[in-house]
Amino acid sequence: MYAVAVTILFKDGKLEELKDFFETSGFPALELLKGDMYSIAFFNPKDNVNLGIAFMKDKETADKFAEIRNENLMQIQDILDSFPRVYEGELITGKTLRDSLIEDSKESMFLAFAKLDVKDADEYMNLQKEIYLPKLEEDEGIISYGAFKSDENNLVLFEFWTSHDAKHDFDEKLNADGNVYEQFMPLMNGFDDYYGNPYAIKQFVDFKSGESIN
């Protein structure tokens, strides 16, 4: 599976226009990729930041998606306030812990997203698989998670939760358990993180519990 994440700034007061555009024009334009595009969602995690994350079959699909995305951005350039930053790559790990079906309501779904500048991506992922992912997979609030390398020293991590409270409760448990997060700090040069509920989402396929990428 291949993932593409895009961040871009929009002008003050234009979030509703963005939402209307994706619902009426952006999502329908992706019907051309149906079968190879799995899902896409948009978030407003802070201030005027728009974060989109999409999952698809492969790099070839991502290239077609980029063409459609660029055409869409041209249509709404008057409400945008920056050029897009794009992060993409093949998933190096990921798992669905709870069914996420097309007809399910996504209103309470909560995204935790982080872009990490790491010293050694393999070392970081090995530690994550050793001390973090086993705890994550035991939690009742996690829907799915994954990671990909956008380049040699940059990792993108994402987690979909049933709610903000579920993610918060999980973090509290980790902090009480010897503060697992602190063990990752020596492996990083820096990070950006985003959190939020989707304001627009389109799912083309069902994700079933137990599906994984190791």
- The residue extents of the domains of the chain are 2-203
Instruction: Tell me the pLDDT tens digit for each residue of 41-54.
Output: 999 998 899 999 99
Identify the burial level of 113 via C-beta atoms within 10 angstroms of its C-beta, where 0-12 means exposed, 13-18 middle and 19 or more buried: buried
Average pLDDT taken over every residue of the chain: 91
CATH number given to 2-203: 3.30.70.100
Instruction: Tell me the pLDDT tens digit for each residue of 10-33.
Output: 999 999 999 999 999 999 999 999
Comparing CA positions, the residue from 94, 185, 204 lying closest to residue 144 is 94
pLDDT of residue 214: 60
> Is residue 178 over pLDDT 80?
no
> Is residue 141 over pLDDT 70?
yes
pTM equals: 0.92
Angle at 115 between CA 111 and CA 119, to 5 degrees: 145
